[in-house]
Structure 1
């Protein structure tokens, strides 16, 4: 991606992103304070994303995890690679997608339930897919962390989309 375009996208993100004080959803506020925002400084983005993934897995304690893409989720979290053809579960608790395509997203949605977490990498490189998920009637909560997107299907919550500083 062109550096100037990437920089301008980040500036727009930063100007519209909120911190935890602008969040009125109890679920998202708790997620921000307990999992997403930490006081630790990370020297590179990869380390920061791996730590976030580890904290998300610790917080949600998923029984079934699927990773789609060519990226190692986190060596610390001991994730096994699977793909949708080999899934024996009806529903999946945590889905990580490295490179989102409409086909992959539609398949992932079939396996999501009320407590599922869908984590997408590089959401600004796949803007159309991110917008597709935000506008999907089945999905209620989305969190934009600039490089990472989190999607939740929470039937008890009204539809809300958050842009959070990370």
Structure 2
């Protein structure tokens, strides 16, 4: 992880970012005001917090097989769940935003690349409990742990698949998704490959969300390439997340929004 890249990127982000007052698209304005800036203290937030707290209190260790870009924090493959939740899991702030997005758009079919400890999965599930979520985890031991945690919290409609992302997503060719959340491999080539492979799984109103678009210079380059793709119309950069829309009725436009 390039810390200097992240610091430089963040200052640039702040310079070019705006709030709802800089937005002239009604679709994006509504999204920013009714979802991004929704200040309600949703009941689901407590459930998400309880889920995170349970992970933070866990003294269990998992032997991790890393298929992605690796970890800059963990030097060994045997990792404490509590430390993983602190460092590698979605933050409470990000989880709350994913909940609001899932709730606002009422996504019915969701694909998540990178289950990890299931914090984001749980948040998206709470946003629309009727949604069918397919979540993919590369490491079998993390997968087993998260499946057990989902069972303990009685989370239904979640299909957890284990394996290499490229192999698994090639088996999902016939499925269309309302939301695809990319949070598993922060390498440029892999990110662009997943994006291209999953484009046929999208429709006019699908949303793609890329996590940690400023994780490294490579990841930011991938984000810039995605923005230029001819099928992409609107993008929103919130610094942590990059949101991609394919709405043909929208003029191509890129927004940078402070949350």
Q: Normalising by the residue count of structure 2, what TM-score does the alignment of the two structures yield?
A: 0.58
Work out the CA distance in 2 between the residues paired with 1:131 and 1:6: 15
- Residue in structure 2 matched with residue 77 of structure 1 by the alignment: 124
Considering fraction of residues, name the structure with more helix. Answer: 2
Q: Closer, same or farther in 2 for the Cα pair 1:61/1:88, shift >3 Å? A: farther
Backbone CA RMSD of aligned residues: 2.3
* Residues 1:4 and 1:61: Cα distance change in structure 2 (over 3 Å): same
Tell me which residue corresponds to 2:176: 91
Deviation for aligned residue 1:39: 3.5
The 2-side partners of 1:68 and 1:103 are apart by 13
Q: Is the Cα–Cα contact under 8 Å of residues 96 and 120 in structure 1 kept in the other structure?
A: yes
CA positional deviation for 1:5 = 3.4
Q: Are the aligned partners of 1:54 and 1:74 in contact in 2 as well (CA < 8 Å)?
A: no
Q: Where does the alignment leave 5 or more consecutive residues of structure 2 unmatched?
A: 42-85, 126-132, 137-167
Match of 1:48 among 93, 99, 106: 93
> How many angstroms apart in 2 are the aligned matches of 1:132 and 1:158?
18
**1:28 pairs with 2:19:** no
Question: 1:136 — aligned with what?
Answer: 229
Separation of aligned partners in 2, 1:70 and 1:115: 24
Alignment partners' CA distance in 1, 2:34 and 2:205: 17
Q: Equivalences for 1:108-119 in 2 at 5 Å? A: 108-119=198-209
Q: How many residues align?
A: 165
Instruction: Indicate the SS of the match to 1:77.
Output: helix
Deviations 1:65-113 (Å, cap 9, x if unpaired)? Answer: 1011244323243344244234264421110001352210101212111
Listed as ranges, the gaps of 5+ residues in structure 1 are none
Relative to structure 2, which stretch is displaced further, 80-89 or 94-103?
80-89
Give 4+ residue runs of structure 1 displaced > 6 Å after superposition: none
Match of 2:80 in 1: none
Give the distance between the partners of 1:9 and 1:150, measured in 2 at CA: 17
For residues 202 and 175 of structure 2, the distance between their equivalents in structure 1, rounded to whole angstroms, comes to 9
Structure 1 residue matching 2:205: 3-state secondary structure:
coil
Residues 192 and 226 in structure 2, CA contact (< 8 A), matched pair in contact too: no
Q: Does 1:162 align with 2:255?
A: yes
TM-superposed CA distance for 1:40, in Å, is 6.9
Q: Deviations over 1:41-77 (max 9, x none)?
A: 9xx9711110110111111111211011244323243
